[in-house]
């Protein structure tokens, strides 16, 4: 079984948007996942599931005030304004990623496109277990500190993710628990 990207839809984004989001993420990950790390699917979920350390998970929450990542006991805390990834490193790395719906709806004409680009960005932080240094080392494009609707995935992003996709990172599922 290949890589599965799991999207924790905690903000209740409608199925027409999540269907488009799924397609956009499949396009963004095309050409990155291959061989033993082949791309399988994007799954939209609202509760914990069988997520492996090869997979990726990003929560969609309504806004920063509804952050679930703030409940993750991490050694490196993100500080993003449109999303956040925090992680613990050690013998086994664990990461938690989220994006904020209200930031995207305020600035995007295409909600699914905006969400998919921000999710890709946060999942770069996640798989690399890398904080803000991603913005300078991730190959430009969707690794930049600011992501716009017009920001495109770069070959540098592809190379960066290909080199890290096999890294096992446990995906924190505590965001599905009610505080």
Question: Which tens digit of pLDDT belongs to each residue from 67-101?
Answer: 999 999 877 676 778 999 999 888 889 999 999 99
Identify the band that residue 37 occupies on the pLDDT scale cut at 50, 70 and 90: low
Residue of 37 and 129 predicted with greater confidence: 129
* pLDDT tens readout for residues 121-166: 999 999 999 999 999 999 999 999 999 888 999 999 999 999 998 8
Q: What are the sequence ranges of the domains in the chain?
A: 3-176
- The CATH class that applies to domain 3-176 reads alpha beta
| Percent share of the chain, pLDDT over 90 | 68
Q: Check whether 179 has a pLDDT greater than 60.
A: no
How far is it, in rounded angstroms, from Cα 52 to Cα 120?
Answer: 18
Buried b (16+ CB within 10 A) or exposed e, 37-49: bebeebebbeeee
* pLDDT value of residue 30: 85
How far is it, in rounded angstroms, from Cα 97 to Cα 69?
Answer: 7
Identify the band that residue 104 occupies on the pLDDT scale cut at 50, 70 and 90: confident
Instruction: Judge if pTM exceeds 0.75.
Output: yes
Lowest mean pLDDT among 39-43, 103-107, 166-170: 103-107
């Amino acid at each position: 079984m290949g890589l599965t990207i799991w999207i924790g839809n905690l903000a209740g984004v409608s199925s027409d948007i999540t269907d488009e989001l799924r397609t956009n993420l499949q396009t963004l990950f095309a050409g990155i996942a291959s061989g033993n790390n082949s791309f399988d699917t994007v799954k939209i979920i609202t509760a914990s599931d069988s997520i492996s350390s090869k997979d990726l998970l990003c929560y969609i929450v309504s806004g920063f005030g509804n952050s679930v990542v703030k409940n993750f006991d991490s050694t490196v805390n993100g500080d993003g304004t449109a999303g956040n990834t925090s992680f613990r490193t050690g013998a086994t790395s664990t990461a938690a990623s989220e994006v904020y719906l209200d930031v995207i709806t305020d600035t995007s004409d295409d909600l699914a496109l905006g969400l998919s680009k921000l999710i890709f960005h946060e999942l770069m932080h996640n798989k690399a277990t890398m904080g803000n240094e991603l913005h300078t080392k991730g190959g430009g494009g969707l690794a930049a500190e600011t992501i716009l609707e017009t920001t495109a995935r770069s070959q540098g992003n592809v190379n960066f993710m290909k080199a890290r996709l096999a890294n096992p990172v446990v995906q924190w599922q505590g965001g599905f628990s009610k505080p």
